[in-house]
Chains A and B, each alone.
Chain A
Amino acid sequence: MKRKLSDSGLENGLAGSTPKRPRRALVQANGAVNGHAPTQSPPNDTATYELPPNQSTPKKSNSVAATPLKESGLKTPTHKSRAKNLFATPTKPKTPAGGTPARLKNADRSAKKKSARVLFEHDDDAEWDGSEQLAAEILQEDEEDDFEPPKESGDATKVVESVEGEGEGEGEANAEKPKGKDAKAPKRRAGRPKGAKNKRSPTPEGELPAHERYFFQNRAGTGKTSNTTLNKVPLLTHEEYFEKLGHLVDPCKEEKDYLLTLHHRSFAQWNFEFEEGYNICLYGYGSKRRLVQGFADWVYQHSVSDNPPIVIVNGYTPGISIRSIFAMIAAALMGDDLPSKLGSQPTEVLELLQSALSNRPIHEGPVTVLINSVDAPPLRRATNQALLARLAATPRIRLLVTADTPNFTVMWDISLRDQLNFVFHDGTTFTPFAVESDVVEEVNGLLGRKGQRAGGKDGVGFVLKSLPENARNLYRLLLTEIITIMDDGHQSDDEGGADSHKAPDEHGIEFRLLYQKATEEFIASSEMMFRTLLKEFHDHQMITSRMDPSGVEILGVPLSRDEMEGVLEDLVLG
């Protein structure tokens, strides 16, 4: 609760400063008061205590109390907080645990002043995030406190708690609440526990219209998040991700299946739309591959002709080209009559396709083309979409596409929309996008852990197996050096814990140095040869290379430390 106050006070004065420092300042300020006039503090306290809560406090006294706060608020917490995140347990008070009752009272007093001020200086912001209400609560609470006989022991624990509450940084609203929350919260790591929606909750109270919510969440000074990082949480590797996924039981399996059967019921309708010359676009949350597969089955079974040509395209496949799609459709259409040499331009293939279609006997059915994830990056480009639109406009081509992203319609302008002639259906399935996206890679990219090689440890090991002895030795050398450097780094800058945990490819070895070592170990006899070996690694994304500010080329390995050690182990043992 005290935290809240100091913060709401800050909010009025200095938005944007982090909350930690003010606390220390507050403690210091209070300590100073104590130090100078320890005996005077009780009367001082009572004086403030007796301020009737709902009377507006004189402005003057307010400003006096608030001044030290404001000044110190300018300083931002730096390494301290980081160190705390790593090492400090939340309960450990920062300052020597000299929480005397007087200090507490000072804190309380200051809190009360703040509350009074918050109530006095009625502002919209406070109303939004509920700080006003909170202020009122504090004042009320103190009022009640006044009638209680002062209990030393109770107060003492309260001190610790309140300090803890503050030291927590993102802190619980007060010391009592977290107890209830802790029971529910997951294992406490450093950082803000779940559910501790503190004073400046980003979630506005009540229902707000969308635009208000936007402005609410983008107010200046709301960007306060905790400083916790994922350093202590080991991230998932590809192997572990898939292994764990295999163990999961989907709680909504039945419902999803039912949803799918509902979609299956519209197959007849879709077919009718096809017959009437429309193309179909399915959108909505979830992978629609299975749905498309089901529709392909349905079309196959209900087709008039014996072996209806159905071509399925997976738009998410990296490197897929429009030409290959057209060529496949042509192959499906013409079978053995396919000319051995198709043109290199997609338009050429398309024209071949169109002429083949127009020569196709009427009684043979149309060609069905089903495209999964038409809005996936490989197909997203405007030229590709224009070509697809021309395919869609071809008579006797039936095109069904699925789109996964929310804003896919912006891919098509009016003339494309006209050619595509889509009818849209909501095809929400809730099926995970397992094939469409490389989940682990995406998340790594999102967390700035990019550069971790797609294949991971196994991929590197696989490549290494196929490389000559020399190359393996060089890689072993590289890994050994980098791991050594990493170890050194750990010892040298201990307090910068977060730095050493940054992206692993931050660590690297100078090109020259590695070459030197390589020649020493008779791995490479000339720079030419050395470079050839490195090129091989580079082609398989097994090393990274960058220039450091002084222009020296630094070589690194895009693997996490554990993986490096694993690879090294295999290399040495194998």
Chain B
Amino acid sequence: MDPDGLEDAMDLSKDRSQNQGVYIYQPAKSGKAAGERPSKRRKVSSTNMKKDLSESPAFMPLLNGDETPECVQLRFDTYKQLWSDQENKIQNILEDVDAGVLTDVLSFVRETSPQTSDGCIPTGLVTVGSNVSSLSRLLSRLNDQLKSTNEGGVVVLESGDAPNLKTSLKNIIRAAVTNTEGNDGYQRFLTDRSGPRVLGYDLDLLYDYVQRRGTKKLVLALRDSEAFDPALLTDLFSLFKSWLDRIPFTVILGISTSVELFEGRLPRSCVSLLQGQHFEVQEAGNCVDRIYEALQTRADGQIWIGRNITSTLFEKASDYFQTPEAFSRIVKYAFMSHFFANPLSVLLGNPDPSVLPQGRFCEAIRNLPSFQMFCEDLLEAGSANESRNMIQDDKYLLRAAFDHVEAGQQAMRHIFSAVLLIHTCLQHTQATKKTTISDLSVRALAGELGESPLVEDMLATVRTMDSGKLTEVLNTLPNLADDSPLTVIQADLQALLETYADSLPLSSEYNINSSVVKTTVVQQRVLLTKGKANLPTQDIEYTKVVDRLVAALQEYFTETLIRPQDLFMHEAFLFDLRNPLKETFTPRPRFAIERALTSPFDYLISTVETGARISAKQPAGAILYQLYLESGALINVHDLWQAFYGVYESDQGKKVDEREVMALFYGALSDLKMFGMVKNSRKKTDHLAKAAWMGL
């Protein structure tokens, strides 16, 4: 009827591109808008337009497009600067974590040779556990080291590269040569040889290369050793063994399970070819904690991630293996989202107030929940004037916002220094289970840390400490401000200790040794009474100091450990939206499809309100899926078809064309098939078996 309609409906574009497997994109030539724009662009692009584009950030103006370009730029720049800062930190942490293993492996590679290992192939067994990405980092750094000293190089082989012996040899040789010579070098290397032509998998080639370069160490690393075919490994190693006198092989095996399991899979003859040393990479969890700590507890931090995200992040990390890189990517995405979509984030860039657009921007601030709370608090405190100013005067508001962003950031820093303090204290007071910074942070960000039993326990333990231990604790505590009561207490304690230097250690009255249990027999019954032992004066004085210390700590905690959500303008420096993050990194594709099919109007915002649950207004796929949901484990196709047709007939009456509906039915059925929801059943003719249950 209408060929355009067909193509539209079927999403068939006129070009043949849909049937091509792979092609290079060509802009549409005969379109309306698309045809003009590129040519127009090209005219200008050579000069100023190009410059504009390269300078303009990837950000879009927010606030309905009313944001000034300066603000957009500032947001972008702030993001870039803040994140590159963080990224460096993360990199340093990763390097630091790897450093230990790297030096071990490097010295192993340097020092071992076939001679030192009884003629066997020297082998490093690296167990990576959950920290899968660490091995690639390790290997690339090892490669850099070896290359820079001209000792040799590292060839990484993955199980996918090794379907059989020939191909794996070929890949090894090529990778070894290209590692130093480059791709062209490899081609030249192949062609420039004198003598008979050698095939690509001949180890003679490698021998040649080793001789030419004077390679001392050729490291072959198998990243996922478990995935290799054991028979192939045996062949490969026995081949290496026989060339070992000419090519200095060292093998590094990345093992995700355990050395014993891996060894068990290999035949004896293979194991006997290797002589190895075992290295262990630090668990990923540790890295993640350290990265998180570095992010949140910086003394000069400007932006923090909130409680929801933290708990999501750590949930994810504990639910399944996650590499530190993946972790930092999620954090990065959080930063990105904040600066990409939050116009307030511009305040973090310390903008000149004159640059800020006043109208919409202030409106945005006034719509913040924290602004409303703040104003209510002001009213309660009786400063109605100020809150009126906030609402009416844009300039006043902006100034206040600036101040509060500063103050809020300061408060956040205090929160985290308190967290650090608690963490250090806990190191001394907790005997067994150590609470991590991330645990503490989650509580702190929720504003619950101050009252948590964790802190109470800690303070109780501090009370019972004797003087020796207490000084130790106080000395390790992070430096607080000079005038804080803690410093005074520390000084007092020091003085006390000097006075009673001969009767150390002092213990407080809370110490278990200081209380005495009295046993009295009254009328043949034993009475136990707990009483305080008579304390020497030095202990009484010490107890006073301890009491002061605990009181000071308590005060400090209640003062600093506030709820970050109570801070005015916290939206600018605290990113705590669970959603873009969760959906972006842990998608639920099956749920999305099921939702699209069961309630299509969640996606298709319809103007027509349909009362019926299933109606012909819905896409065919959705109709069929809902009928499918109603059916049992076995579905009669004929009946399904009749039901499907019935939906259309009841909606449109007799004028509906049965064959057209059938075409729709076909499309919908093939969708279900493609999603793996139905399969052919052999139980009865023309029956389908249900293969997926919604929500399971």
Contacts and interface: CB of A to CB of B under 8 A. Distances in A.
B58 A236 contact: no
A246 B637 CA distance: 24
B343 interface: no
Given A246-B6, A406-B594, A448-B685, A194 B646 contact: yes
B183 interface: yes
B600 A246 contact: no
Contact of A225 (B17, B634, B670): B634
A437 B593 contact: no
Contacts of B670: 433, 437-439, 442-443, 446
Contacts of A436: 674
B263 interface: no
Nearest to A183: B650
A233 B236 CA distance: 61
Nearest to A82: B685
Contact of A247 (B650, B660, B690): B660
Contacts of B302: none
A73 to B, nearest CB: 19
A406 B692 CA distance: 10
Given A195-B643, A284-B596, A287-B11, A304 B632 contact: no
B646 A319 contact: no
Interface string A267-309: 0110111011010010111110110010011001111101001
Given A312-B17, A404-B674, A230 B585 contact: no
Nearest to B3: A246
Contacts of A236: 659, 662-663, 666
A250 interface: yes
Given A241-B663, A244-B663, A414-B322, 14 more contacts: A186-B646, A194-B643, A210-B694, A244-B662, A246-B9, A269-B340, A276-B336, A285-B597, A303-B53, A310-B25, A383-B163, A405-B589, A437-B670, A445-B673
Contacts of B631: 202-203, 217
What are the 8 A-B residue pairs with the smallest beta carbon separation, nearest first?
A210-B695, A202-B632, A255-B604, A194-B646, A310-B25, A424-B587, A406-B590, A246-B6
Given A314-B18, A328-B23, A351-B178, A415 B224 contact: yes
The range of chain A's interface size is 35 or more
A528 interface: no
Contacts of A194: 639, 642-643, 645-646
Interface string A43-78: 000000000000000000000000000000000000
A442 B178 contact: no
A259 B683 contact: no
A272 B659 contact: no
Interface string B6-30: 1011111100011111111101100
Nearest to A385: B160
A352 B223 CA distance: 22
A374 to B, nearest CB: 12
19 contacts: A186-B649, A192-B642, A194-B642, A227-B684, A247-B657, A247-B660, A285-B592, A286-B596, A301-B38, A304-B53, A328-B22, A355-B182, A386-B158, A415-B133, A428-B596, A430-B619, A434-B10, A439-B670, A447-B680
Interface residues of B, number: 131
Interface in B592-615: 592-594, 596-597, 600, 603-607
Contact of B686 (A230, A278, A289): A230
Contacts of A352: 183
A272 B584 CA distance: 14
A320 interface: yes
Nearest to A407: B590
Interface string B125-136: 000000011000
Contacts of A227: 684
Interface of B: 1-3, 5-6, 8-13, 17-25, 27-28, 34, 37-38, 41-42, 45, 50, 53-54, 58-60, 132-133, 158, 160-161, 163, 167, 170-171, 174-175, 178, 182-183, 223-224, 320-323, 325-326, 329, 332-333, 336, 340, 583-585, 587, 589-590, 592-594, 596-597, 600, 603-607, 616-619, 621, 629-639, 641-643, 645-646, 649-650, 657, 659-660, 662-664, 666-667, 669-671, 673-676, 678-680, 683-688, 690, 692-696
Contact of B650 (A184, A331, A332, A433): A184
A213 B690 CA distance: 13
Contacts of A573: none
A431 B53 CA distance: 33
A383 B160 contact: yes
A156 interface: no
B325 A418 contact: yes
Contact of B132 (A201, A289, A418, A434): A418
B665 to A, nearest CB: 8
B650 to A, nearest CB: 5
Interface string A365-397: 000001000000000001100110000000000
A248 interface: yes
A253 B630 CA distance: 27
A403 interface: yes
Question: Which of B170, B171, B662, B674 has the most chain A CB atoms inside 10 A of its CB?
Answer: B674
B325 A314 contact: no
Given A296-B25, A317-B21, A430 B636 contact: no
A353 to B, nearest CB: 9
B666 A311 contact: no
B634 A223 contact: yes
Contacts of B669: 442-443, 446
A218 interface: yes
Contacts of A256: 604
A500 interface: no
Nearest to A294: B34
B593 A297 contact: no
Contact of B592 (A317, A348, A428): A428
A97 interface: no
A513 B642 CA distance: 43
A297 B34 contact: yes
A226 B684 CA distance: 10
A352 B686 CA distance: 52
Nearest to A188: B642
A218 B678 CA distance: 15
A229 interface: yes
A249 B652 CA distance: 13
Contacts of A434: 10-12
A351 B583 CA distance: 34
Contacts of B23: 311-312, 328
Contacts of A230: 637-638, 641, 686
A331 B676 CA distance: 36
A211 interface: yes
Contacts of A241: 663, 666
Contact of B616 (A210, A214, A251, A328): A251
B642 A432 contact: no
B639 A192 contact: yes
B19 A317 contact: yes
Given A186-B646, A223-B633, A276-B332, A217 B11 contact: no
Interface string A176-220: 000000001110010111110000011100000111011001100
A426 interface: yes
B58 A271 contact: yes
A225 B684 contact: yes
Contacts of B597: 285
A186 B666 contact: no
A435 B18 contact: yes
Contacts of A446: 669-670, 673, 678-680, 688
Nearest to B76: A272
Given A386-B158, A414-B320, A430-B603, A443 B639 contact: no
Contact of A324 (B21, B171, B333, B634): B21
A538 interface: no
Interface string A147-159: 0000000000000
Given A230-B686, A310-B25, A405-B676, A417 B37 contact: no
